[in-house]
Amino acid sequence: MTALTLSTSAAAALRADAVVVGVTKGPKGPQVAPGAETVDKAFDGKLATTLDALGASGAEGEVTKVPAPSGVKAAIVVAVGLGEAPQDGAGFDAEALRKAAGVAARALGGAKKAAFALPAAEAADVEAVATGALLGAYAFTAYQAEKDGRSTLGEVAVVGAKPRDKAHKAAAERAAAVAAEVNRARDLINTPPNDLTPKSFAAAVQAAGKEHGFKVEVMDEKALLKGGYGGIMGVGQGSATPPRLVRIGYTHAKATRTLAFVGKGITYDSGGISLKPAGHNETMKCDMSGAAAVFAAIVAAAKLGLEVNLTGWLALAENMPSGGAVRPGDVLRMYSGTTVEVLNTDAEGRLVLADALARASEESPDAIVDVATLTGAMVLALGEGRFGIMSNDDAFRGKVHAAALAQGEDSWPMPLPKELRKTFDSPTADIANMGVRLGGGLIAGLFLKEFVGEGITWAHLDIAGPAFHEGAPFGYTPKGGTGSAVRTLFSLAQQTADGDLLP
């Protein structure tokens, strides 16, 4: 794990393998950003001229490495692009700082220590730089004998921060806790499905509960069958590895508000009898990303002792096409008592979530937020880089959207059109698990809404697009599991603790 320190030393004076400086895109070429003054001085004020000669422009995502001159203790200077400089005295955008720090950390994989001399005068800047660097330093190499240079950066030192300043110290603590948990979620998502089963996932949650002091209850297949969890049992009945429902309970003695987080945890999704076509199975280990996000966000809250009560519900199952699998045409009786006709076994996420939402509602939380890699339709609607947000309360949906954007998690508010509800009426059961094809992401949201308790504020995050990145790494986003929605959920918990989220 990459260590994080705050340093009051001048950037040029700090002993490290590399010093990272920011460069903005100016009208006549690159310009050195604040924080790198002592490094620029070592270049006799000609760092920008040197970078310009090497073809640097200051564009976002750009990295230029230069041997350090005498006067700089680090061996190399890594100049990273920040894009256009802020105008009219405004500070640097937090996401620009996060991305720049992430790019630099990826470029320095295997180094023991790097000094990050990016603009970090304010606590929010410190948090952004530290978060980006710690996320960018991530690498998943657990199953590789040869690391191919993908080992992580050993230590991130944020230069210009103030270790004795309470706001700066708290910012660094948040960055370290949240980034570590985003990376925990990434590890879970990237773990092969033969090793991450519902049982082993539940065991990992239990171990974390003992370490960080929150309660964990695990319902196995016998308890689920006895309790009438027809959705979870129906999806899991085709697998040799039976399902689990995990309840996480984090409480604070002074908390007056409770948030419930519900996560889809399909540890592998073959589509069941409605088998996915060739080319769509290879990444389906990521179908538990919602449960990973819920788990990780609550651990981060527990580490930082947030003054809020949180419950997490992880609906864990494997969707397989065996002789015992649920069939199209079967009817399941859900935990709520509602009967559901299964028209497509690849629409399984909504079935496990429905049971978990109904169970979470019984405890009457102030709000419920569920997270799921739920529909390909949402990817078609919004692309791979952002998630959709639906809610039974427009004001709450707006707050969730604002929280996501503030954390750099691209998202978009989506509607729940009432006229689509009738399209999943069933002649056999109370409802079907499928409606019209067009607007499938909205259909799924409307289906979930049926299982939220009366009067409970609820939001649904469909993270099917950004949960797993198959392209080349960029910013602080790696190839593979991204940990999407962890930072949004943590922010909602933080705002609830501060009294800013709920009336």
Cβ within 8 Å of residue 252, ≥6 positions away: 305, 306, 307, 308, 309, 497
Query: Is residue 238 over pLDDT 80?
Result: yes
CATH number of residue 35's parent domain: 3.40.220.10
Kindly state whether residues 271 and 168 are assigned to the same domain: no
Query: Is residue 125 over pLDDT 80?
Result: yes
Contacts of 216-220 with C-beta under 8 Å, sequence gap 24+, read 216/246, 216/247, 216/248, 216/249, 217/246, 217/247, 217/249, 218/244, 218/245, 218/246, 218/247, 219/244, 219/245, 219/246, 219/247, 220/244
Are the CB atoms for 117 and 36 separated by under 8 Å?
yes
Kindly state whether residues 347 and 434 are assigned to the same domain: yes
Cβ within 8 Å of residue 382, ≥6 positions away: 388, 412, 465
pLDDT band at 347 (very low <50, low <70, confident <90, very high): very high
Q: What is the mean pLDDT of residues 49-56?
A: 97
Total domains in the fold of the chain: 2
Distance CA 59, CA 367 (A): 41
186-211 tens-digit pLDDT: 999 999 999 999 999 999 999 999 99
Are the CB atoms for 386 and 309 separated by under 8 Å?
no
Distance CA 364, CA 64 (A): 54
Give the pLDDT score at 87.
86
Give the pLDDT score at 150.
63
In a domain? residue 190? no
Kindly state whether residues 208 and 178 are assigned to the same domain: no
In a domain? residue 432? yes
Of residues 88 and 157, more confidence is placed in 157
Kindly state whether residues 247 and 143 are assigned to the same domain: no
Closest CA to 291 of 200, 425, 402: 200
Kindly state whether residues 67 and 94 are assigned to the same domain: yes
Distance CA 324, CA 235 (A): 10
Give the pLDDT score at 378.
98
In a domain? residue 188? no
Dihedrals phi, psi of 475, to nearest 5 degrees? 50, -125
Question: What's the chain's average pLDDT?
Answer: 96
Q: What percent of the chain has pLDDT over 70?
A: 99
- Among residues 133, 154, 183, the one where a domain terminates is 183
Kindly state whether residues 214 and 123 are assigned to the same domain: no
In a domain? residue 375? yes
Closest CA to 285 of 413, 360, 195, 355: 195
Kindly state whether residues 218 and 107 are assigned to the same domain: no
SS3 325: coil
Give the pLDDT score at 144.
87
Kindly state whether residues 278 and 408 are assigned to the same domain: yes
In a domain? residue 189? no
Query: Is residue 149 over pLDDT 70?
Result: no
Kindly state whether residues 456 and 317 are assigned to the same domain: yes
Give the pLDDT score at 11.
96
- E-assigned strand segments in 68-150: 76-84, 113-117
- Among residues 157, 183, 209, the one where a domain terminates is 183
Indicate if 186 belongs to the active site: no
Residues spanned by the domain of 427: 196-497
Give the pLDDT score at 503.
85
In a domain? residue 145? yes
Give the pLDDT score at 384.
95
Dihedrals phi, psi of 371, to nearest 5 degrees? -135, 130
Q: What is the mean pLDDT of residues 407-433?
A: 98
pTM over 0.95: yes
Kindly state whether residues 120 and 245 are assigned to the same domain: no
Indicate if 41 belongs to the active site: no
pLDDT band at 89 (very low <50, low <70, confident <90, very high): confident
Distance CA 154, CA 149 (A): 13
pLDDT band at 1 (very low <50, low <70, confident <90, very high): confident
Q: What percent of the chain has pLDDT over 90?
A: 94
Query: Is residue 392 over pLDDT 70?
Result: yes
Give the pLDDT score at 479.
97
CATH number of residue 278's parent domain: 3.40.630.10
- Among residues 149, 183, 217, the one where a domain terminates is 183
Query: Is residue 315 over pLDDT 70?
Result: yes
In a domain? residue 322? yes
440-461 tens-digit pLDDT: 999 999 999 999 999 999 999 9
Query: Is residue 288 over pLDDT 80?
Result: yes
470-479 tens-digit pLDDT: 999 999 999 9
Distance CA 133, CA 324 (A): 47
Sign (positive or negative) of CA dihedral 118, 124, 126, 129: negative
Query: Is residue 88 over pLDDT 90?
Result: no
pLDDT band at 334 (very low <50, low <70, confident <90, very high): very high
Q: Which residue among the candidates 276, 333, 421, 449 is catalytic per the annotation?
A: 276
Sign (positive or negative) of CA dihedral 67, 72, 78, 80: negative
Kindly state whether residues 79 and 204 are assigned to the same domain: no
Give the pLDDT score at 221.
98
Kindly state whether residues 276 and 394 are assigned to the same domain: yes
Q: What is the mean pLDDT of residues 347-364?
A: 98
In a domain? residue 266? yes
Give the pLDDT score at 147.
61
Q: Which residue among the candidates 174, 247, 257, 350 is catalytic per the annotation?
A: 350
CA distances from 422 to 393, 441, 467 (A): 21, 15, 30
**How many residues would you count in the chain?**
503
